Amino acid sequence: MEAGAPLSTAPDAEATVRYTYRAHYAYGHEVTRNENVFRIIPRVDGAQRNASWEVRITPDGARDEHHDAFGNLVLRSLVTQPHREMDVEAAGSVDIRLAQEPVTDLRMGVYRQRLLHSDVYLAKSVLVDPAALADHARTAAGGAVSLLQVVEAVTAWLQRHIVYERGYTSVFTTAEEAVARGHGVCQDYAHAAIGLLRALGIPARYVSGLLATQVGETHAWIEFFHPDHGWVATDPTRARVLADPRELLTFAVGRDYNDARPSIGSFEPPGQGGLVSIEARVQLPA
């Protein structure tokens, strides 16, 4: 898709997207305390609204909901019934606003003048250190002189320097390590893209959610900040400079994976076990 190309010309165009998410946990012994935090509920922001959802956890237990510092809806669960298996099922729908106009380009000098320099999405985070990628960022940007040109150049550079392949990285792999290894998955492309863009003075944040064309697991992409259009989705894994919002369902955003991870938890007594499988699906409107 060309940078600046409109995604939809219909006024106030929206699409209702439905989703399911199922996670199965198994343990090698009887667990008597299982505490988890989930970010598997559609985020409500400028691009998504009217979220409707239900989460079932078996066996059931105490739960509460709150919004974190990034505006994500977080579900906390505590199961104290003795169990060896646990299932988490989420289902719902959300209205996704489709782009109504082209994303305008800005020369980088003008863009930087319009930014808040204290932006948290320009700073170093646990898994992304922009300073460590500064040399790569300058090389990736090349002769790009405008915002969309820079994003496109960084996306193309990542396609040349990281091969999509499992087994080389983990959720603890930093952006710098992913670039050095030259192999990774969606979260690695996202972290590397965020680091390169931040190093070039462009606020960027991590996004977790679901991809309509990818059945079976969650997906990660990024958003960069535009002073006229807000947060704009880019999917570096699939080389989509301007990602089609109809393909993406956002659960959470943050500085890196740690802020937006779909789930994290602990159990007692300690031992072998944990997440075994995830099955996720997005149903697009007919």
Taking only the tens place, the pLDDT of each residue in 272-282 is: 999 999 999 99
On whether both 273 and 241 belong to a single domain, the answer is no
Beta-carbon neighbour count of residue 238 at 10 Å?
18
Say if residue 34 is in the same domain as residue 132.
no
Statement: residue 171 has pLDDT above 60: yes
The DSSP-derived string for 36-72 is: EEE--S---SSSEEEEEEEEEEES--EEEEEE-TTS-
**pTM of this prediction?**
0.92
Residues 229, 59: Cα–Cα separation, whole Å? 44
Burial 97-125 (b: 16+ CB within 10 A, else e): bbbeeebebbebeebeeeeeeeeebbeeb
133 and 236 within one domain: yes
pLDDT at residue 213, as a whole number: 81
Give the list of residues 6+ apart from residue 109 with CB closer than 8 angstroms, or none.
none
Whose structure tokens read 């960069």? 224
Q: What is the pLDDT of residues 51-84, one digit of tens each?
A: 999 999 999 999 999 999 999 999 999 999 999 9
64-76 core/surface letters (b: 16 or more CB in 10 A; e: else): eeeeeebebbbbe
Q: Looking at residue 196, which CATH number applies to its domain?
A: 3.10.620.30
Residues 87 and 166 in one domain: no
**pLDDT tens digits, 250-268:** 999 999 999 999 999 999 9
4 lies in a domain?
no
Residues 146, 241: one domain?
yes
CATH of the domain at 47: 2.60.40.2250
Domain membership flag for residue 9: no
Residue 199 CA: distances (Å) to CA of 12, 202, 253: 35, 7, 19
- Do 252 and 267 fall within a single domain? no
| Percentage of the chain exceeding pLDDT 90 | 81
- Answer yes or no: is 117 within a domain: yes
**Judgement on whether residues 92 and 148 belong to the same structural domain of the protein:** no
Q: How many CB atoms lie within 10 A of CB 22?
A: 15
Can you read off the two tokens belonging to residue 34? 């299982």
For the ranges 62-66, 100-104, 137-141, 263-267, the lowest mean pLDDT is seen at 100-104
Q: Rounded to whole angstroms, how far apart are CA atoms 218 and 216?
A: 7
Are 35 and 138 in the same domain? no
Q: What is the Cα–Cα distance from 264 to 272, expressed in whole angstroms?
A: 16
232 shares a domain with 167? yes
* 134: containing domain: 108-260
pLDDT, averaged across the chain: 92
Same domain, 159 and 76: no
Is there a domain that residue 90 lies in? yes
Residue in the block written with tokens 């944990």: 274
Co-location of 206 and 127 in the same domain: yes
153 and 221 inside one domain: yes
Number of domains comprising the chain: 2
Distance CA 82, CA 233 (A): 43
